[in-house]
Amino acid sequence: MSTIETLRAMSEVWSLFSDMPDDATVGVDLAALYLGVSVKTLARYRQNGDGPPYVQYQSSDSKARNQRVNYLLGDLRSWRNGHRVNNTMQAAQVRRLTFSTLSDLTKPQPFWIFKSQIVIGHALCIEDYIFKSFLISNDYQVIWICVNDVLLEKWSFSTERKKWHSVLVYVLNRRILNSVAQQEKNELYEALMNTNKIP
């Protein structure tokens, strides 16, 4: 099939999807096509429980383990839209790499380094094709190090380091503001208690 024919076929499929209501049921093949993943990846999502919700009909008289799986198009749309990202930090949050507390910043994380010296970036926030090229090269390796420690290392790109620096500063500033607010609350409470004392 030529490229033009493939594009025409895809255009027809996308037109079909856009005309279908949210409660339309689609099979695994169409669901995978809609999400742009393989059927195998979709099966892994079901196994791990981190994919879109699905419907599985099970007959009471059947002992088969692999019952037919279907998806509601509205669930696929919602799940897909929930995974839109604008940058690698958002991608990290989608992958459940949220850094919102001090303890998050002290847990070891996987970072790629070049020739055992220079930090490239977080292993799970790098594009897949770059990740694959790093895997086959002897110049790159993954080290496990916490965010506040990795920021003390030498980085290959200041823009990549700045993302993690911003995360650290954000978390620390939020912690400081929370502590200041709690201190003010305690001082106010103490002042109110002192003014309400009976002489």
**Position 54: which residue type?**
Y
For residue range 22-38, what is the model confidence (pLDDT) as tens digits? 888 888 888 887 787 78
Q: Token pair of 74, please?
A: 């509205």
Inter-CA distances, 186 with 9, 56, 174, 182, 197, Å: 67, 54, 18, 6, 17
For residue range 166-192, what is the model confidence (pLDDT) as tens digits? 888 888 888 899 899 999 999 988 888
Contact 25, 70 (CB under 8 A): yes
Nearest to 126 by CA among 138, 103, 150, 110: 110
Domain ranges of the chain: 3-81, 88-187
Check whether 154 has a pLDDT greater than 90.
Answer: yes
What is the C-alpha separation between 115 and 124, in angstroms, rounded?
A: 19
For residue range 34-89, what is the model confidence (pLDDT) as tens digits? 787 788 888 888 888 888 999 887 766 666 566 788 899 889 888 888 777 666 55
Q: Token pair of 15, please?
A: 């037109």
Q: How many residues does the chain have?
A: 199
pTM for the whole structure: 0.47
**CA angle (134, 135, 141) in 5-degree steps:** 70
- Specify whether domain 3-81 bears CATH 3.40.50: no
**Position 26: which residue type?**
V
